[in-house]
Amino acid sequence: TLLRSLRMRRTIHLVAVAFLLSLAGCADGYQKSGGEWCYVIINTGSGRTATPLNADDRTFVVLDDKDYAKDSTSVFYLGERIKNADPDTFRLLDAPRFARDEKSVFLLGHSVIGVDPDTFRVIDGVYGRDASRIYCGTVPMEVENMEGFTVLTYDSCVGIAYGKESFVSRYGDSFADLEVSREQPAVIDSQWAHDGVAYYYGPGKVVGA
């Protein structure tokens, strides 16, 4: 069990490192370029890249969390449109990196799977809960004792997983029906938690602990 846990820790750190490397360059944020709104990145070696958003200039606004912006038809995170986000009801939550609209909760621009936004609250870091489930980032967990669930550490190492096969291999067959893909990646963290019955690392239960 200890060896499995150490392998899980190493794996999630590698996922996070890969994610950070994929962001090559330094974001300069939402700016106007050539009279239209763009998302600007300063790339080492290649200079400044301004990607047009095709946003409505009249209604475009950058939110208090500068990674998010919206206009009358779309919501953006780091310059990418958030799939199915409703700009009319979209707002930031009182927790870093989280937001919601009428039907969904979002973390780093990705939707939390199956969540009830009206009862959702953040527990610690990227762990949260609604009336019926505990979530590690965007992933619903199988927790035996919700009321006893406590995050034990906050060695935050947020990562994004894009492959279902590797995700199930790391965290168990309970995630066999979870969609993990480029279209629906899993945003997760590497914290330890327990509920008085079992221990959890990231979204997965540690078997035998």
Q: Which of 138, 143, 140, 200 is nearest to 175 (CA)?
A: 140
- Please report the pLDDT score of residue 206 as a whole number: 92
pLDDT band at 7 (very low <50, low <70, confident <90, very high): very low
Q: Is the per-residue pLDDT at 52 higher than 70?
A: yes
Q: How many residues does the chain have?
A: 209
- Please report the pLDDT score of residue 31 as a whole number: 96
3-class DSSP assignment, residue 144: coil
Q: Is the per-residue pLDDT at 47 higher than 60?
A: yes
- Please report the pLDDT score of residue 170 as a whole number: 87
Token pair for 127: 């762990």
Q: Is the per-residue pLDDT at 92 higher than 90?
A: yes
User: How do strand 204-205 and strand 199-201 relate by DSSP bridges?
Assistant: antiparallel
- How many Å apart are CA 173 and CA 162, to the nearest integer? 17
Q: Is the per-residue pLDDT at 13 higher than 70?
A: no
2 contact partners, CB below 8 Å, separation of at least 6: none
User: How do strand 36-43 and strand 47-52 relate by DSSP bridges?
Assistant: antiparallel
- Find how far residue 121's CA is from the centre of its chain: 15
pLDDT band at 167 (very low <50, low <70, confident <90, very high): very high
- Please report the pLDDT score of residue 155 as a whole number: 66
